[in-house]
Amino acid sequence: MTTTHASPAPAVGAEDLSVWPASAAEPRPGELSVGAVALSAVAERFGTPVYVLDEGEVRRRCRSYRALFPEAEIHYAAKAFLCRAIARWMDEEGLGLDVCSAGELELAVAAGFPAHRIVLHGNAKTPHDLHEALRYGVGRIVIDSPSEIARLAAAVGPQGRQRVMVRVVPGISAGGHDKIRTGTEDQKFGLSVSDGYAQHAIARILDQPQLELTGLHCHLGSQITDVKPFLSAVRRMVGLMARLHEQHGLLLPELDLGGGHGVAYRPGEPALDLHRLARRVRAELSEACAAAGLPVPRLIIEPGRAIAGPSGVALYRVVSVKRTGGRTFVAVDGGMSDNPRPALYGVRYAPRLVGRAGSAARTPMTVVGRHCEAGDVVAADAPLPDDLRAGDLLAVPVAGAYHLSMASDYNMVGRPPVAAVRDGRARLLVRRESLEDLRGRDVGL
């Protein structure tokens, strides 16, 4: 199964639902349902903006990964989006969790997620992050900097033992934007093989009896839609494992290839073919290990966006439609405070009108947010019905990852709620952030 579900070609006049959850359907002209719940009904019940998360789609994607990579550990990258329900779903579907802070860790554990199936990442782990990871007993901590080694060993104590991995920079450029490419030498993550920092860090870890090195980790970037960079990473990582075996007699049992599996945000865009990825990575890993005389390590992969992203939909209410300078601007009641990705990475979305049947004629319109920034654009030049008007409801697919997790309180608007839909029922997962919440943090006069 690929990261987008297969859909038949849309009928004449029908909308292309290929980037929507598999449960998306049009029960009547102009209406759209997800999880057998009308999106217009979700907006009426919870207000807008609101995120809609298809629980069935989340679980389906988890099961796809487990089926395609039966020999691997699948860890959901919590940074994409985490709430207590997501943590519970990941536990029930047999996935592990990757967290990047004490906050993510504590929320997951509070939801009942087993700490031994959690991995702590981060290029700048604070003393509090490490303290909480050890207190809860996380399964692994990924070393990202030489300075972490002594600090972590001291925190573990002479009688303790903590499993660790080392994040290696393999020198591979991959990803959908410069700001999300993390496999090259010119960014903040990991330890380089080319300058010897990774090898030196590994030697230091081996001298620490409190630390048990279980394997190597790499992450090439995000929104990768080609299999080839992952195959290059396998070869380079196995090459390093072979050198470590020669130098230290070390046989590492684990290899973490990270995530970054690309999804389509608009119909016709490429997505990573997971069937092909699984087949090619498995073959490449076996061949590389056989050539190096090494046993095949247990594979770990870390999908985040590819599970949560296509499972989510953002709903906005149109506030105004303005035609100026030869362009049509559609202003909605959300924007960059609930989705900064267009401003950060130039991401493009495919919004559509829901709740009523609009005109068949389409006009390119730029959907903009309510914030005091010219760059507050939700979707540029989106083809929308030319009778779009204030009060209409717009739905934006592929909104489940890096939206609420990156949201802010800019202009003190407050972050949107999250509602889950499944089998004709909707329920609230995360409530809307209120003005009382914002005022409560401001304690000075």
Read off the pLDDT of residues 325-365 as tens digits, 9 standing for 90 and up: 889 999 999 999 999 999 888 889 999 999 999 999 999 99
* Residues 244 and 367 placed together within one structural domain of the fold: no
* Residues 194 and 282 placed together within one structural domain of the fold: yes
* Residues 324 and 288 placed together within one structural domain of the fold: no
- Which helix (H) or strand (E) is 344 found in, with range? helix 341-345
* Residues 345 and 285 placed together within one structural domain of the fold: no
The count of domains in the chain is 2
* 3-state secondary structure at position 224: strand
Q: Given this model, what pLDDT does residue 10 score?
A: 40
Q: The tokens of 405 are what?
A: 């997790």
Q: Given this model, what pLDDT does residue 4 score?
A: 40
* Residue 126 forms part of a structural domain: yes
Which residue stretches of 140-188 are H helix? 146-156
* Residues 49 and 59 placed together within one structural domain of the fold: no
Q: Given this model, what pLDDT does residue 3 score?
A: 40
- Which helix (H) or strand (E) is 274 found in, with range? helix 274-292
Q: The tokens of 362 are what?
A: 């389409």
Find, among 182, 242, 252, 243, the residue nearest to 218 by Cα: 182
Give the active site residue among 100, 218, 289, 372: 372
* Residue 5 forms part of a structural domain: no
Region 425-432 average pLDDT? 98
Read off the pLDDT of residues 183-238 as tens digits, 9 standing for 90 and up: 445 656 779 787 888 888 999 999 999 999 999 999 988 889 999 999 999 999 99
Any idea what the CATH number is for the domain that residue 373 is in?
Answer: 2.40.37.10
Q: Given 307, 325, 349, which residue is the final one in a domain?
A: 307
Read off the pLDDT of residues 153-189 as tens digits, 9 standing for 90 and up: 999 998 899 999 999 998 775 554 444 444 445 656 7
* Residues 66 and 170 placed together within one structural domain of the fold: yes
Q: Give dist(CA 297, CA 254) in Å, integer.
A: 5
* Residue 228 forms part of a structural domain: yes
* Residue 10 forms part of a structural domain: no
Q: Given this model, what pLDDT does residue 227 score?
A: 94
* Residues 129 and 228 placed together within one structural domain of the fold: yes
Beta bridge partners of 164: 141, 213
* Residue 261 forms part of a structural domain: yes
Q: Give dist(CA 222, CA 1) in Å, integer.
A: 19
Q: Which residues contact 178 (CB under 8 A, 6 or more apart)?
A: none
- Say whether pLDDT at 444 is over 90: no
Read off the pLDDT of residues 44-69 as tens digits, 9 standing for 90 and up: 999 999 999 999 999 999 999 999 99
* Residues 197 and 246 placed together within one structural domain of the fold: yes
Q: Give dist(CA 181, CA 267) in Å, integer.
A: 24
Block residue for tokens 């030319």: 386
- Say whether pLDDT at 9 is over 50: no
Q: Given 285, 307, 329, which residue is the final one in a domain?
A: 307
Q: Given this model, what pLDDT does residue 8 score?
A: 40
* Residue 20 forms part of a structural domain: no
* Residues 300 and 371 placed together within one structural domain of the fold: no
- Whether 218 is catalytic is no
Q: Given this model, what pLDDT does residue 221 score?
A: 84
Q: Given 255, 285, 307, which residue is the final one in a domain?
A: 307
Any idea what the CATH number is for the domain that residue 155 is in?
Answer: 3.20.20.10
* Residues 102 and 220 placed together within one structural domain of the fold: yes
Return the percent helix, strand and coil in the chain, to nearest 5.
Answer: 30, 25, 45
* Residues 129 and 258 placed together within one structural domain of the fold: yes
pTM: 0.92
* Residue 11 forms part of a structural domain: no
* Residue 25 forms part of a structural domain: no
* Residues 405 and 298 placed together within one structural domain of the fold: no
Beta bridge partners of 255: 216, 299
- Expressed as residue numbers, the domain containing 255 is 55-307
Read off the pLDDT of residues 133-156 as tens digits, 9 standing for 90 and up: 999 999 999 999 899 999 999 999
